[in-house]
Amino acid sequence: MNGIDRLVVLLSKLPGIGKKTASRLVYHILDADPAYVKMLAQEISGLPDTIKRCSVCGSFTEIDPCLLCTDEGRDTEVLCVVERPQDVRIIEESHEFNGRFHVLGGLIAPLEGVNPDDIAISRLLGRVRSGAIREVILALNPTIEGDTTALYIQNTLKDTGALITRLASGLPVGGDLEYTDRLTLSRSFRGRFQL
């Protein structure tokens, strides 16, 4: 196996990259500017060393606590609870939220062996108790695991006095009723609002 084949094997382990795509990427890299290739390799190899978990919110960061947790311009009384660090990025890019984050690191899924203790729920309880948290927004996927986790967190936090909310579920903007599944349609009915 030569260098091309070895890199194809390694790249096809990445999500959404099949053998054909990996092969196309390798041939692109072979034709690319050597400076670019060097930089790409450096950034990849440096990633595990430079990026750590924030000890406060659990997101990825270069400095601990992360910039979002130390930014005084953000609302410290609202916590947005997400499943994964990449959800923080997605929400930040939407500019819809200006509070603090809390990354669970997973969702409760008993069938897959993920129990409440395996994700950062007790740490969430600690944060809500110790800080003056007004609202906890659960930005979890509208799936069975997301619903289970939301319910569990709701129960865990019920004596803290914080308002617990969850992101609305319904028709995607630009979507079509015809192509919307029944469950989404049902949720959009339950979540309907007055005009």
DSSP state of 114: B
Binding mask 127-156 for a copy of itself (x = CB under 8 A): ------------------------------
What stretch of H or E contains 86? helix 85-94
Sorted by sequence, the CB contacts under 8 Å of residue 39 that are 6+ apart come out as none
Residue 191 in contact with a copy of itself, rule: CB under 8 A = no
Which 91-130 positions form the footprint of a copy of itself (CB under 8 A)?
A: none
DSSP state of 76: T
Minimum CB distance to a copy of itself smaller for 53 or for 134? 53
CB of 44 to a copy of itself, least distance (A): 4
* Interface segment toward a copy of itself; rule CB under 8 A; list 9-17, 135-143, 148-156, 163-171: 9-17
Contact predicate 75/98, CB 8 Å:
yes
As a whole number of angstroms, the distance between CA 23 and CA 9 comes to: 9
* Radius of gyration of the chain from its Cα atoms, rounded to whole angstroms: 21
Minimum CB distance to a copy of itself smaller for 34 or for 132? 34
SS3 state of residue 108: coil
CB of 194 to a copy of itself, least distance (A): 35
Contact predicate 46/38, CB 8 Å:
no
Rounded to 5 degrees, φ, ψ at 137 are: -95, 120
Minimum CB distance to a copy of itself smaller for 50 or for 55? 50
Binding mask 25-54 for a copy of itself (x = CB under 8 A): xxxxxx---x-xxxxxxxxxxxxx-xx---
Which 54-93 positions form the footprint of a copy of itself (CB under 8 A)?
A: 60-62, 84-86, 89
Sorted by sequence, the CB contacts under 8 Å of residue 172 that are 6+ apart come out as 180
Interface residues with a copy of itself (CB under 8 A) are 2-4, 6-7, 10-11, 13-17, 21, 23-30, 34, 36-48, 50-51, 60-62, 84-86, 89
